[in-house]
Structure 1
Amino acid sequence: MPESGPQSGGASAQALRQGLRELGWQRLAVASLLLALALFAALRSWQLPILGDAENALYDVRAAGFAPRADTDKRIVLVVYTDETNRKTGQISPVDRTVLAQALAQIEGLKATGEGAKGIGIDILLDSAQDDDPLLQAALRGMTTPVYLAFASNRTNPEAITWEQEQDLRRYIAAVTTETTKPASILLVTDNDGAARRWPQQYPGLPPLLAQALTQTTPDAAPQFSGFAGPIRYRLPSATDRPVFEKIPIDLLADPATAPLVADTIRGRYVLIGGDFADFDQFDTPITRTGLSPDPRGGHSRMIGVEIHASMLAQLLDKALPRSVPGWAQTIGALFAVLLGMATAAVRARPWQLALGVAAQLVAFAAIPFLAANAGFDTLGLPAAGWPAGWLVAYVAVSAALRAINAAQREFAQGALGKYLPRSVASEILRNPERLRLHGEKREIVCLFSDLEGFTKLTHAVEPEMIARLLNDYLDKLSAIVLEHGGTLDKFVGDAVVAFWGAPIAYPDDGARAVKAAIAMYHAGEEFRRDAPAGVPPIGRTRVGVHFGEAIVGNFGGEGRIQYTALGDAMNTAARLEGANKPLETTILVSREAVERSGLDGFRPMGTVSLRGRATPVEVFEPVPEGDPSARALAEDLVAAHAAGNRAAVQALTARIAANGDKDPALANLARRLAELDDGESYGLG
């Protein structure tokens, strides 16, 4: 049955605690710091270096891409000083004020012949005394058409005006202020890259912004723009031969001879007067930053200040106030981006699935701001780059943490596997877990069983604490030998060690490794006997059986406990061979199959034995790589004579062996056994 909710939740909580422990407090602190940084970047990207530049660039693409197309605006006209005007008047800075007075007179004169201008905004600072000031001041005081004079303060715009200039400007405006002639703020704000994207704030002490001042007493007034500091809506021309705003050179309007030519362009419109110079009062905007221009006929690569004021005025007249994205929505978006990055890092998926998921998320992040802009929302401040950046930092933080946890788990798993498998095999399985199958499979393996002679009697003669220490020391030595020789530790059964070669990974020299391990285990057992603590009764020899054959290898057990082990005749035969050492007075017995698999020399035959539970007799050999060659040859001749039915040879060889006394008990035992058997008969072990 599936686990219940509380049990599953408890397991998840335990896994989480375990993961945090494996991560360590230092890595946890770094991961937490990165996640905090991810959230900060997602929320405050517009104020951060690099990310802020990316936000500006992405906004410019949106603003230009969704900029409305417009024919020439018939509500606004720009009257501009040009470089040609300056050449005619011979005055560059400040500009000629006589021309301005004459232009105002022409605009005012239109009221006498019909409809005049709706209002006049002058984007020129009158901050220093000039010889023709009386003419201009008289014109300003005599205007019945609303006129708004440019005002700027040193506090809010120190780049444009000094404190001394501000005092001159205040005196000038005070001298001409009437019911219809008043100041207006011409403040423009730029971002850190110098582009004008947003309406300026309404600072205390400043008069209304020029666009708002021109309309505040007219039916065109838009109170909803009071305090608005959102994006300026720039427009693009809908035709290739007509600009968004028509420009008239001021000297053309000021000259009575040419003024009638442009009179219709003035009537019923808001007139903005400013400078159109190649190197002064020029601004970048989202339009110019993307390589576009509001004037298809060419001109400057940037936008003049009076044209920006005209864009704000047109936006106000159109009541085009964008919908704002609530702050809570941006916060939720930032949290979602960070959590999504964390979840993506934590999910287990195939590489192509992960790649598709990441690509889909990036597309969504890129699409959301554009969809919002297309729907009329103010995306100036929307973290278009911040959300992906927060996602990325969160992804990296969780990925790094998981890699650290996986590394710790891998190290633990490798250490745990290393207790049963060689480190090279454990590493291979961790790299490719499929090598360790989760079900049984038939494999050819070399099996090894070892046993410590007389250990059961020893447990009755020694204190339990000493038995535990001796057994642990003994098993440590033997298991280390198995692993050093590339074997897989199957289990410990008391003092017995069970191991095999050929699974989970097989190597060509598995047979040789197994036989060498058996010899090394015997010698380790002899060393263990010699080094036994004082007071411990004599410890018996280590006996080993080795066989090569088929077995079922895999993970066996239940859901509660699984063990990687081998089952079958090969394992049983190796166990029986280990037990056969006692009656045959040998220490290591290796079956013919294992001998042939090893490819080694230095074995002497110990006859053929019939093992309990096995119908087929087994030819057994004892490895004596450093033994007396004559004794090895004697055993070979004896076994061959018995197999051939040469009784005389068997008797002669048995006599030679008996003459040596008890110097070689295993060989003497072989001679006695063969003397008792019929020709070619195997020795039954019961």
Structure 2
Amino acid sequence: MRLPASWSSIVLNKPTRSALWITLVALLSAIIAFVAVQTLAPLDNLEKKLADIRVAAMEVPKEPSDDIIVVALDEDTLAQFSYRSPIDRAFIADLIERIDSAGASAIVVDVLIDQASEESKDIQLFEVIRRSETPLYFSYTADPAFVTEDQLNYMRAFIPADKRVESRLLSDPFDSLVRRISTGGIFSDGELIYNDDYPPSFAAKIANAQGVPLLETPREISWRPVSAEGQEPFPVISANYVTYLPDELFEEKIVLIGAILSITDRHSTPLSIIDDGDRGFMPGVLIQAHAIDSLLSGTPEPKSSIGFTLLVVIAFTALGVLISQLRKGLVFNLSLSIAVLAGYWVLCIIGYGYGIGMWPILPPSLALLLSVWMMDIVIGRAERMQRQYIQSTFSRYVSPAVVDRIAEDPSAAAISGEKRDTTFLFTDVADFTTMSELLSPEDLSDVLNQYLDGACEIILRHGGTIDKFIGDAIMAIFNAPIEQPDHAAAAVQAALELDSYAEKYREECNNKGIPLGVTRIGLHAGPAVVGNFGSSQRMDFTALGDTVNTAARTEGINKYFGTRICCTQSVVDQAKDQAFRTIGHFALKGKSEYTTLYTPLPSTHNEEAEAEYQAAFSLLEQRDSSAPQRFSDLQGKYPTDPLIIYHSNRLQSGDISAWIKMGSK
């Protein structure tokens, strides 16, 4: 079989992909997946939602905070005053003085003092603020979206600059959920700065007063879960009861004073996924409590770090590349990828409740699917081209079933100088040279091509591989390049069918006046070196060794016996279900050892005639003197049987033996 020199690298070796292409595909998949989730709002929001689910549903119970306590300005508090807003300043002043005297570590009032109320009460609060010994802070904002210029000027005059904290909460622009802690301050020329109107944020300032560095960038809130007994994360006390409670309750505590009302200062949080009450739609002062606790406790953010996300994305990209190497098709690869991702999603969600942290979900999922899809585009196209190449190249030499198998797994045909048991089939048309001299080139071409088409179709159908054509002769190999366990039996069946076809075609040609001769077929099985041999410009897939030579001689020896198919003992031994007639024991030209030759019998053979021949041949093997007469009698009974004619004529010389020395091919 003639192949291009590059065949071994294109087909015969197991398909491997260029390291450069794989690297490019993997790198591009990872970059697209990572950047897409970081920059595309819908994908970023989906990743946040997946994190929210874990935060809301998989939280591990935790005891209430020992550092923070919330004094609630609730409905019972407001019910005792003649007006709800602004909140009674004298009441707030009394709360501050009471908590100050109890020895709190810090007091934060989450109430905007942005307008005047009753003068005497305003003065009382003004003075309390300035004489408080406990670090005292008030919510403050200069954002024109929340306060007018008059309100801002009032706050500037009322709240000392060192007691101001930015009260604004960071809500996500996509879904309005509060997830992050603000830094406060203002960015100018890309740098975060603080001033009297833009102080640090509520949580950042309080945590900083406890020794925590100020935030440089917003961070995720680590929501403190309820306890195993169902206790809220932070003790919440109605402001009405503060006067009656012992100092120990407030001592060394950060006390937050703020409104906890049914419809005022409520904000959606990630916990709203499963909670439609105070935790899902949380009062601002409680969000500030969670924010302060996040900074003081050092609890990791419910968010995957960029470095870890990149690492997981790279790992899943590599997994996608590995899956694509299974070469099972895009549908299978995507199905397997989805199954892997389903398991990974379950691990991420359930594992969060067991403390594995907030692993990224969407970026690695996209990376895996993208890498599988892109590898299919790059490699799948190459494989389809390779498949087409294999089919177009091999279809002329091997059967369609073999072509499909090689196309599915080219490594199955990866033979390079391999020693293998094979069966060889050689054919030759008798007197072809004489016929070719009588026909025009066009007629000769038509006759030969039609003959070879039919012959090759039979060989291929039985699993043989067309090695080469030598004029009208065919050399075919069975059991290479694809393994064929019954190669000898298949070769015999191919030979019988080919003989029937060739005789019918010869008769058709002879009836047209074309002197096409008989087709002689030789079969021999044995070890041979099979592989790709040739130069850098041109290669042959062929076989080398004595088995090949013996098969060729076996074909040629037919002309001495008048037979059309001749095969050796090695073929007979492997084709156990086939009936054979023994031709004789011959020493072929160049061989010192005798070889028993046979001809296979078609299924329609005359069993009576075969039994008589076998009995006569047994006499010949015994050197029985009656053998010549027995063959002579058989010739009279079966005058067209070529083997009977051969032995009958040979025995006339007096050499009564089944062992014959051949003088030529």
User: TM class by shorter-chain length?
Assistant: 0.5 to 0.7
Q: What is the match of residue 80 of structure 2?
A: 89
Residue 386 (structure 2) pairs with residue 409 (structure 1): yes
**Deviation string, structure 1 residues 248-289 (Cα, Å, up to 9, x no partner):** 532345xxxx37x67798899876431234676455767x68
- Give me the whole-angstrom Cα distance separating, in 1, the residues matched to 2:562 and 2:184: 107
Residue 360 (structure 2) pairs with residue 384 (structure 1): yes
- Give me the whole-angstrom Cα distance separating, in 2, the residues matched to 1:111 and 1:69: 20
2:91 to 87, 94, 103: 103
C-alpha spacing 1:520/1:322, structure 2 compared with 1 (3 Å) = same
1:178 to 157, 170, 173: 157
1:482 Cα deviation (Å)?
Answer: 0.8
Residue 464 (structure 2) pairs with residue 484 (structure 1): no
SS at match of 1:384: coil
- Give me the whole-angstrom Cα distance separating, in 2, the residues matched to 1:239 and 1:651: 110
Aligned length, in residue pairs: 605
Q: What is the match of residue 240 of structure 2?
A: 251
User: Is the 8 Å Cα contact of residues 108 and 255 (structure 2) preserved in structure 1?
Assistant: yes
1:385 Cα deviation (Å)?
Answer: 2.9
2:474 to 497, 503, 516: 497
Q: What is the match of residue 450 of structure 1?
A: 427
- Give me the whole-angstrom Cα distance separating, in 2, the residues matched to 1:665 and 1:600: 20
Q: What is the match of residue 309 of structure 1?
A: 288
1:450 Cα deviation (Å)?
Answer: 0.8
User: Is the 8 Å Cα contact of residues 199 and 232 (structure 1) preserved in structure 2?
Assistant: yes
- Give me the whole-angstrom Cα distance separating, in 1, the residues matched to 2:490 and 2:521: 17
1:389 Cα deviation (Å)?
Answer: 2.4
User: Is the 8 Å Cα contact of residues 79 and 274 (structure 1) preserved in structure 2?
Assistant: yes
Residue 66 (structure 2) pairs with residue 71 (structure 1): yes
- Give me the whole-angstrom Cα distance separating, in 2, the residues matched to 1:522 and 1:616: 30
C-alpha spacing 1:464/1:345, structure 2 compared with 1 (3 Å) = farther
Q: What is the match of residue 109 of structure 2?
A: 121
Which residues in structure 2 correspond to 1:531-542 (within 5 Å)?
538-542=515-519
**Deviation string, structure 1 residues 527-574 (Cα, Å, up to 9, x no partner):** 784699x9xx74433211235xx51145356696574537445x5444
Residue 168 (structure 2) pairs with residue 187 (structure 1): yes
Q: Which runs of 5+ in 1 are unaligned?
A: 1-7, 24-28, 157-165, 293-298
TM-score, length-scaled by structure 1: 0.63
1:125 Cα deviation (Å)?
Answer: 8.8
Q: What is the match of residue 496 of structure 2?
A: 516
1:555 to 526, 530, 553: 530
SS at match of 1:251: helix
User: Is the 8 Å Cα contact of residues 553 and 588 (structure 2) preserved in structure 1?
Assistant: yes
Residue 220 (structure 2) pairs with residue 231 (structure 1): yes
C-alpha spacing 1:446/1:116, structure 2 compared with 1 (3 Å) = closer
2:47 to 51, 54, 67: 51
Structure 1 range deviating more: 387-396 or 405-414: 405-414
Counterpart of 1:199 in structure 2: which amino acid? I
1:348 Cα deviation (Å)?
Answer: 8.7
Q: What is the match of residue 198 of structure 1?
A: 180
Counterpart of 1:50 in structure 2: which amino acid? L
1:38 to 33, 36, 41: 33
- Give me the whole-angstrom Cα distance separating, in 2, the residues matched to 1:214 and 1:543: 99
- Give me the whole-angstrom Cα distance separating, in 1, the residues matched to 2:497 and 2:435: 25
SS at match of 2:180: coil
C-alpha spacing 1:272/1:652, structure 2 compared with 1 (3 Å) = closer
Which residues in structure 2 correspond to 1:8-47 (within 5 Å)?
37-41=32-36, 43-44=38-39, 47=42
- Give me the whole-angstrom Cα distance separating, in 2, the residues matched to 1:467 and 1:538: 11
User: Is the 8 Å Cα contact of residues 609 and 684 (structure 1) preserved in structure 2?
Assistant: yes
SS at match of 1:544: strand
Structure 1 range deviating more: 114-123 or 45-54: 114-123
Q: What is the match of residue 373 of structure 2?
A: 397
C-alpha spacing 1:39/1:680, structure 2 compared with 1 (3 Å) = same
Residue 565 (structure 2) pairs with residue 588 (structure 1): yes
- Give me the whole-angstrom Cα distance separating, in 1, the residues matched to 2:106 and 2:632: 140
Q: What is the match of residue 596 of structure 2?
A: 618
Which residues in structure 2 correspond to 1:627-642 (within 5 Å)?
none
Counterpart of 1:615 in structure 2: which amino acid? E
User: Is the 8 Å Cα contact of residues 109 and 139 (structure 2) preserved in structure 1?
Assistant: yes
- Give me the whole-angstrom Cα distance separating, in 2, the residues matched to 1:188 and 1:449: 89
- Give me the whole-angstrom Cα distance separating, in 1, the residues matched to 2:521 and 2:655: 28
Counterpart of 2:456 in structure 1: which amino acid? S
Counterpart of 2:526 in structure 1: which amino acid? A
1:306 Cα deviation (Å)?
Answer: 1.0
Counterpart of 2:593 in structure 1: which amino acid? A
C-alpha spacing 1:673/1:232, structure 2 compared with 1 (3 Å) = same
- Give me the whole-angstrom Cα distance separating, in 2, the residues matched to 1:673 and 1:290: 102
User: Is the 8 Å Cα contact of residues 617 and 682 (structure 1) preserved in structure 2?
Assistant: no
User: Is the 8 Å Cα contact of residues 418 and 426 (structure 1) preserved in structure 2?
Assistant: yes
- Give me the whole-angstrom Cα distance separating, in 2, the residues matched to 1:215 and 1:557: 75
1:580 Cα deviation (Å)?
Answer: 2.2
**Deviation string, structure 1 residues 275-320 (Cα, Å, up to 9, x no partner):** 234676455767x68999xxxxxx968753213334556778x798
- Give me the whole-angstrom Cα distance separating, in 1, the residues matched to 2:449 and 2:77: 104
- Give me the whole-angstrom Cα distance separating, in 2, the residues matched to 1:483 and 1:592: 24
- Give me the whole-angstrom Cα distance separating, in 1, the residues matched to 2:230 and 2:49: 34
**Aligned CA-pair RMSD:** 6.4
- Give me the whole-angstrom Cα distance separating, in 2, the residues matched to 1:411 and 1:639: 54
Question: Identity of aligned pairs, percent?
Answer: 19
1:497 Cα deviation (Å)?
Answer: 1.8
Counterpart of 1:389 in structure 2: which amino acid? S
User: Is the 8 Å Cα contact of residues 519 and 564 (structure 2) preserved in structure 1?
Assistant: yes
SS at match of 2:428: strand
Which residues in structure 2 correspond to 1:593-612 (within 5 Å)?
597=575, 599-600=577-578, 610-612=587-589
